[in-house]
């Protein structure tokens, strides 16, 4: 809203200049900022994250925001002074340590932020589990902070691995619908983008390195896994596609079913098996998508190991 505030002020001043009037002193009327944001929020396919507000107080902001329904979460980020100081220096290209005046400014900003979070929390606590109230201390490393954010926001992953003779697409789809989960068959997703010649499809084709896969099946390969298996494409790109797809599909689902990953056992060549190991894929999924909470293996016969 701060950026929208500045854009609105610039438009008002440009209009005033054209009329020969003096420029606007201070901020534009809050009603004009609300109108811009309200128009943006008519797009129901998007999610909106508010990083601050331009209302005079928390109560006015929440009163206005409630017309769109309660938020899914309230996130408070804090850090101690020892962690904030070097970040301040880096952001503003300062060469030296913070002087007393800047240290006081850091403390004041932290104090205001804590007060705002406390007031917002007080407003939404009565709604219980409908609003997830989260407080994260970011004094640790960026990697730790990202892990905390993933733990709070990323869905848990259920991996499905199966014999090709077993058609599982309908079963997985029904399971996802019944329990409000997201279901993604990775090679079906890749096939869809390549056939549509989307931007993702073109990127994937540019990295395709066909490998010999051992996918012997009496069942029809209706989704052409042999051709569109993620094993043929750059792993980082496949993960980015999965991450974006889940982001677009996700509303309030806590689990995502992923079928078609972990293909090491389908490789013929030993070099391919060494290049892409089971644990490489496993850790890549946990790092980029979310924690793997379950693995479902579907076979015709019991496996001793």
Q: What is the mean pLDDT of the chain?
A: 83
In this model, does residue 218 exceed pLDDT 60? Answer: no
pLDDT at position 273 is: 65
> Where is pLDDT greater, at 26 or 302?
26
Mean pLDDT, residues 94-109:
76
pLDDT at position 241 is: 92
pLDDT at position 216 is: 61
User: 39 falls in which pLDDT band (50, 70, 90)?
Assistant: very high
pLDDT at position 34 is: 92
In this model, does residue 302 exceed pLDDT 60? Answer: yes
pLDDT at position 89 is: 77
pLDDT at position 254 is: 85
In this model, does residue 49 exceed pLDDT 70? Answer: yes
User: 119 falls in which pLDDT band (50, 70, 90)?
Assistant: very high
Residues 153 and 290 sit within 8 Å (Cβ to Cβ): no
How do residues 137-147 score in pLDDT, each as one tens digit? 998 888 888 88
Domains of the chain, by residue range, sit at 1-69, 72-153, 155-298
Model confidence, pTM: 0.62
pLDDT at position 267 is: 66
Q: What percent of the chain has pLDDT over 70?
A: 88
Q: What percent of the chain has pLDDT over 90?
A: 17
> Where is pLDDT greater, at 167 or 27?
27
Written in H, E and C, the secondary structure of the chain is: CHHHHHHHHHHHHHHHHHCCCCCCCCCCCHHHHHHHHHHHCCCCCCCCCCCCCCCCCHHHHHHHHHHHCCCCEEEEEECCHHHHHHHHHHHCCCCCCCCHHHHHHHHHHHHHHHHHHHHHHHHHHHHHHHCEEEEEECCCCHHHHHHHHHHHHCCEEEEEEECCCCCCHHHHHHHHHHCCCEEEEHHHHHHHHHHHCCHHHHHHHHCCCCCCECCCCCCCCCCCHHHHCHHHCCHHHHHHHHHHHHHHHCCCCCEEEEECCCCHHHECCHHHHHHCCHHHHHHHHHHHCCCEEEEEEECCCCCCC
User: 2 falls in which pLDDT band (50, 70, 90)?
Assistant: confident
> Where is pLDDT greater, at 85 or 296?
296
CATH fold, domain 155-298, is Rossmann fold (3.40.50)
In this model, does residue 112 exceed pLDDT 90? Answer: no
How do residues 248-282 score in pLDDT, each as one tens digit? 888 778 899 998 887 667 766 666 666 667 788 88
């Amino acid at each position: 809203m701060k950026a929208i505030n500045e854009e609105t002020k610039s438009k008002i001043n440009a209009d005033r200049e054209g009329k020969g009037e003096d420029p606007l002193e201070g901020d534009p009327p809050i009603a004009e900022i609300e109108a811009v944001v309200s128009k943006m929020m008519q797009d129901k396919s998007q999610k909106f994250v508010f990083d601050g507000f331009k209302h005079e107080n928390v109560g006015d902001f929440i009163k206005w925001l409630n017309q769109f329904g309660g938020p899914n979460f309230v996130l408070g980020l804090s850090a101690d002074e020892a962690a904030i100081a070097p970040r301040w220096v880096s952001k503003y290209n300062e060469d030296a340590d913070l002087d007393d005046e800047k240290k006081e400014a850091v403390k004041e900003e932290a104090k205001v932020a804590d007060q705002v979070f406390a007031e917002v929390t007080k407003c939404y606590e009565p709604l219980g589990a409908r609003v997830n109230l989260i407080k994260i201390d970011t004094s640790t490393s960026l990697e730790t902070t990202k892990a905390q954010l993933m733990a709070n926001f990323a869905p848990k992953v259920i991996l499905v691995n199966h014999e090709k003779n077993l058609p599982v697409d309908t079963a997985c789809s029904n399971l996802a619908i019944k329990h409000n989960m997201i279901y993604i068959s990775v090679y079906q997703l890749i096939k869809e983008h390549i056939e549509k010649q989307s931007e993702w499809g073109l990127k994937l084709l540019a990295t395709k390195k066909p490998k010999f896969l051992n996918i012997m099946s009496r069942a029809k390969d209706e989704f052409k896994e042999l051709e569109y298996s993620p094993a043929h494409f750059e792993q980082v790109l496949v993960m980015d596609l999965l991450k974006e797809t889940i982001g677009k599909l996700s509303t309030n689902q806590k689990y995502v079913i992923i079928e078609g990953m972990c293909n090491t056992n389908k490789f013929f060549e030993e070099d391919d098996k060494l290049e892409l190991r089971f644990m490489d894929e496993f850790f890549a999924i946990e790092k980029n998508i979310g924690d793997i909470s379950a693995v479902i293996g579907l076979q015709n016969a019991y496996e001793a190991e």
